[in-house]
Chains A and B, each alone.
Chain A
């Protein structure tokens, strides 16, 4: 690949020669070697991706999923139209008031993909291993939203041979707040509640922020939280392992950190989540470094605002599109309450 091999693309300085030089240079480009990946990276990325395949690919196909959903959705739309008319009248009547929306009631219908049944919030709490939380406040403009929620699969299959099994949470609760009358440009919300095996550490060095368009440490429900805005970001936290818990240890020399995509849930209204949580390199197993990554998805293609906080060992992530103000999002996060219905 010495430069002597492609002298043909050099000059002289007239138009015909320029054309010939370009053609020769094209030939040179065609013959360049590949940028080759490290075999270890290729192998380990494949293993990591295929670990999630059992969760992702085993879901019903796109067509069948939507055909299954279409009937209840149409019913919901019909019901929603009626409710919306009533809500509109009420909204006009109480226009000046801030509404406390009893969204927690909707947790009576938490979808469990394992049993393919709806369970109430007490049963959901048993499955999760922690009490379910829900916002008790939504802005007035979102008063016609309904809650659709689902438990992630109980078992996150990890067949990764390059990294030890993940200590994934028993289950994750994924919640979407969805307008009853879908229309373009309506705010979208998603909530994730997840039991994690570590306590995240908040210092001037933790978390480290990558790629976020905006990042602000904030206080949420009296604890340290973070506001993050962007399409594609990563937070790397210092952390302390909780007593009795374990976290995957990166195999020496592994090219890819151990990652645990939060199990995807495909239930009415819910989409595969945009978060990946995992362990980055760290020499101390009791004080691991943990990353939380937000990957762009079609739903959040215009960017998203996220508030993250950890309370009583549970990691909360509240995501909204750009149409919700920072203050409103903070107020929604602050309004989270345990429900026991």
Chain B
């Protein structure tokens, strides 16, 4: 249930996720919330980062996701689905609710001021940061559904079937919609290149 599945594409990113998950016990044996946190934090953080504009927002929302998960951890029922689908469903709803609220009430900068600004992580190269900035920039131009699909596929490394579970879509519909979203994102990258 906790095995990491994808659409057959093995990548460095996926291998890193899988390596973290392989050392974990099955969800039924999670003795405490810490194991769940350790196993899925990188993917949750990456997924949320695909969905929001900045690190502060991402940290805030990731904290909220795990707070909600902790509050409901005892209620998780493995018969209804995998724990990772359960957690990403919480993450999905958290982001959706955030944007609904955000659109009605633009945020102040207060939260950013509350947090201490940290230096960038030393292992991130300039080109990587630039590429990720481009990704975020272009994702911000996309529609909500497209961003969600891309975040779940490439941020969370979910399979099409798992995406369907979170978004309540059929697997075939996910495949079609995701393909179109990727194509649109590619064209945004291309358009950006052409304006340089």
Contacts and interface: CB of A to CB of B under 8 A. Distances in A.
Contacts of A49: 33, 37, 66-67, 70
Contacts of A210: 105, 107-108, 110-111
Contacts of A233: 101
A212 B101 CA distance: 7
Interface string B97-141: 110111011011011001110100101110110111001000000
B131 A32 contact: yes
A186 interface: no
Given A36-B124, A56-B74, A208-B108, A280 B114 contact: yes
B150 interface: yes
A288 interface: no
Contact of A25 (B14, B42, B185): B185
Contacts of B58: 35, 37
B74 A46 contact: no
B34 A1 contact: no
Contacts of A332: none
Given A32-B154, A255-B118, A272 B193 contact: no
A169 interface: no
A3 B100 CA distance: 34
A298 B71 CA distance: 11
A49 B50 CA distance: 23
B131 to A, nearest CB: 5
A2 B111 CA distance: 34
B63 A45 contact: yes
A276 B71 CA distance: 12
Interface in A266-317: 272, 276, 280-281, 289, 295-298
B75 interface: yes
Contact of B101 (A46, A213, A236): A213
Given A1-B128, A33-B132, A232 B45 contact: no
A1 B98 contact: no
Nearest to B41: A42
B124 A33 contact: yes
A26 B182 contact: yes
Interface residues of A, number: 64
Contact of B107 (A22, A42, A53, A211): A211
A117 interface: no
B132 A213 contact: no
B37 to A, nearest CB: 6
Contacts of A281: 114-116
Interface stretch (B5-13, B80-88, B163-171): B5-13
Interface string B28-42: 000011100110011
> Is chain B's interface secondary structure helix, strand, loop, or mixed overall?
helix
Contacts of A56: 33, 70-71, 73-74
A255 B45 contact: no
B189 interface: yes
Interface string A1-15: 111000001110000
Interface string B166-196: 0000000000000100110110011001000
Interface stretch (A57-65, A145-153, A219-227, A320-328): A57-65
A110 B17 CA distance: 47
Given A30-B13, A35-B58, A264-B71, A25 B101 contact: no
B68 interface: yes
A61 B74 CA distance: 6
A230 interface: yes
B24 interface: no
Interface of A: 1-3, 9-11, 18, 21-22, 25-27, 29-42, 45-46, 48-50, 52-53, 56-57, 59, 61-62, 208, 210-213, 230-233, 236, 253-257, 261, 264, 272, 276, 280-281, 289, 295-298
Interface of B: 9, 11-14, 16, 32-34, 37-38, 41-42, 45-46, 49-50, 55, 58-59, 62-64, 66-68, 70-75, 77, 97-98, 100-102, 104-105, 107-108, 110-111, 114-116, 118, 121, 123-125, 127-128, 130-132, 135, 150, 153-155, 179, 182-183, 185-186, 189-190, 193
Given A50-B34, A56-B73, 11 more contacts: A26-B9, A30-B9, A30-B13, A35-B49, A36-B46, A37-B45, A45-B59, A50-B32, A59-B74, A210-B110, A281-B116
